[in-house]
Amino acid sequence: MELRVLNYFLATAQEQNMTRAAEKLLVSQPALSRQIADLEDELGVKLFIRQPRKLILTPAGRYLQEQAREILTLADKTKQNLQFTSVISGDLTIGAGESYGMQRVMSVVSDIIKDYPLVNIDLFSGSYATTEAKLNNGTIDFAVIMGDLPLTNYEVLQLPEKDQWGVLMPASDPLANKAEVRAGDLVNRQLLISTQAKMRNRFQEWFGNYYKQINIIGNYNLVYNASLMAENNSAIVMTYDRLTNTNGRNLVFRPLAPAQYEPINVIWKHETALSPVAQLFLNRLKASIQDSEN
């Protein structure tokens, strides 16, 4: 598969029409049609269901669309990172979930941007599974991972910060009068937890004997959206401290007891030749950690 042909395929998939795609790509419609047909022959699958005025992706076509985007992103990133001289430039790509530890990471990134204006930053927010997949296929340089997860397949740099779990709730909630929240306080309450915590059964041990009495009504990926439910008195939210600005909002945060913390790790692939800008980021992040420990 040529990168040029993958670009042709993505344009056709987006336009859902061969003529419009050809106009966008500045090629003739017959030439584009031949390229798509040749691609289908090469792969041995049909990529489109051809209707009179519309092209619809087949399941194989939808899969190729997702993979082609990743392939072309990686190709563009590689090209950018190779086009440097004595001046550091190129893309620095970081994937992460929501975490207080990102303040340190973003401080390092901000300093790099100031010192090297030709550096481009690409930040991806997502779950551990999605971020790990992007790290493995090479479309991001680093992933910032929260939680006690198996990371033996990666190089790991642990940040000094830790994320503390607690409960976000309306200021009028009776639990707001407590300094900390225990498992028994959550019995028969409508509770939202993060998707990753749910997948890991993160709180089953902490809930203890109350586990079967805990009413988890849903899960979330982005805590801001979950906080709106708390603000509307529809649920209380188990989340990390310092992620939601409660100033001016009818919300309060109370930590769990016994306290529950998550480590924060920056990871990258084993034995990977980092680009100059990625190596610069790593060096500065290590220096930042060392400075804070001295």
Write down the residue that tokens 């084993």 correspond to: 270
Query: Phi and psi of 282, rounded to 5°?
Result: -65, -45
pLDDT tens by residue, 217-268: 999 988 999 999 999 999 999 999 999 999 989 999 999 999 999 999 999 9
Closest-CA residue to 39 (of 21, 14, 64, 58): 64
Closest-CA residue to 204 (of 191, 214, 195): 214
Write down the residue that tokens 């830790």 correspond to: 162
d(CA 265, CA 146): 6
pLDDT at position 294 is 67
For the chain, which domains are there? Answer: 3-79 (1.10.10.10), 87-161+263-293 (3.40.190.10), 162-261 (3.40.190.10)
pLDDT at residue 208 greater than cutoff 90: yes
pLDDT tens by residue, 45-97: 999 998 888 899 999 999 899 888 888 887 876 776 665 545 677 889 999 98
Residue 245 CB burial class (10 angstroms; 0-12, 13-18, ≥19): exposed
